[in-house]
Amino acid sequence: MDSGDGWKHLSLFMAVAVAAATIGCRMLVPQPAARRDRGKSGKRQTQPTEIKEGVAGLIGNTPMMRINSLSEATGCTVLGKCEFLNPGGSSKDRIALHLVERAELAGELEPHTGSCIFEGTSGSTGISLAMVARAKGYACHIVMPSDQAAEKSELLERHGARVERVAPCSIVDANHFVNVARRRAEAFGRDDGQTTRGGSSGRRGFFVDQFENPANLEAHFFTTGPEILRQTGGGVDAFVHGAGTGGTLAGVTLFLKPRVPGIRCFLADPQGSGLANKVNHGVMFASTEREGSRRRHQVDSLVEGIGLNRLTRNFARLFGRAGAGHCLLDGAVTVADADAVSMARWLMQADGLFVGSSAAVNCVAALEIARRLGPGHTVVTVLADSGQRHLTKFWNDRAMAALGFSVAAPDSLDHFARIT
């Protein structure tokens, strides 16, 4: 399906699904109240509703936790949605499942036909896609930048994916990881004479296109947003989240804004990303983009998975359907790498919470928003993944010290200066 058609039909799809979304249902694959299987005796046995239907049934409905140290320091209730408890270890499980199921409904994918799912990703989406692909009967080919944490590519391989690492470069370069993945999908199965299990000819290469595919935003509009509404009982004053593809932030914001009067939604942005400046001032620019000052090709940050210097179609939805209107966000907070490193160490020491780099950025921004709002408010953020897939970089104290960052946990949250 053409991406333009995807955006044209998105409103209708949302309108049909909104009732189901509000109660946190999975729309695309309705779950039976109970499944009947034959036991060893040969008799029909009823499977209780607490039993999930395979790996896909484990995705979503993650718990919400009170982050005690941040809450006690601000007088607010600071909540973290524990997306690291998804079976693939991150919030990307949601979009992996949703995008694949949408492709199946559209006839773009059929399981057990030799078809392959392709994507360009910094790692987490790839891990989720590899898991879903294996569970559903597809091959998976992931293209990722070579500067990402080594354990991500190792996890991908353990999930059965083929991993292709390429040098980091700008999205306008033909060798950017997203562009390479697109070409691999287009070339796959092209008149190769392969035959499917059912006897029909032709296997397919499906390019997920998480940055521009509207089904990314849908996944969070239908699941993450409704879950936050239900878990807080509607008592949420602010939502804070980073943006890579922009799908989570856009989907949750579009869902919550019409349903929670007065809610304020904020972008948490790593240093080197231009998105915060776009939200706050209407211009896409990061100070590290000045000529001669840039160290990396994407964003000048050690944080993986969030931060961009372009508007994706998913993020652009926050500026209206044409991507050029009034921004739905109420502001953006830029988080320095040093603060992300310190916040991760603080959360481990004070709360026993082991988070990855993007979750640490979210928590620094959530602390700042809680301070701005004042005591008595409820601030929700997302703990996208754990520190387990960041051991060789963000959680490698020797590597961080070599970059000039303190790896000692701060003595108090006063360490984090107010962000203006």
CA distance 272 to 24: 35
Beta carbons of 192 and 322 less than 8 angstroms apart: no
Residues sharing a CB contact under 8 Å with residue 295, sequence separation 6 or more, in sequence order: 288
CA distance 238 to 153: 35
CA distance 403 to 169: 22
What phi and psi, each to the nearest 5 degrees, are found at residue 407?
A: -110, 5
The H or E element containing residue 142 is strand 139-145
Residues sharing a CB contact under 8 Å with residue 205, sequence separation 6 or more, in sequence order: 115, 116, 118, 184, 185, 186, 187, 188, 189
**SS3 track for 52-91:** CCCHHHHCCCCCEEECHHHHHHHCCEEEEEEHHHCCCCEC
CA distance 211 to 217: 10
Identify whether 393 is a catalytic site residue.
Answer: no
Residues sharing a CB contact under 8 Å with residue 86, sequence separation 6 or more, in sequence order: 58, 59, 60, 62, 93, 94, 128
Q: Which of 81, 92, 152, 278 is catalytic?
A: 92
In DSSP terms, 207 is beta-bridged to: 118
What phi and psi, each to the nearest 5 degrees, are found at residue 248?
A: -65, -50
- The alpha-carbon radius of gyration of the chain (Å, integer) is 21
Residues sharing a CB contact under 8 Å with residue 34, sequence separation 6 or more, in sequence order: 46, 47, 48, 49
Q: On the CB side of 183, how many CA atoms lie within 13 Å of its CA?
A: 10
**∠ CA 263-259-243, rounded to 5°:** 55
Active site residues: 92
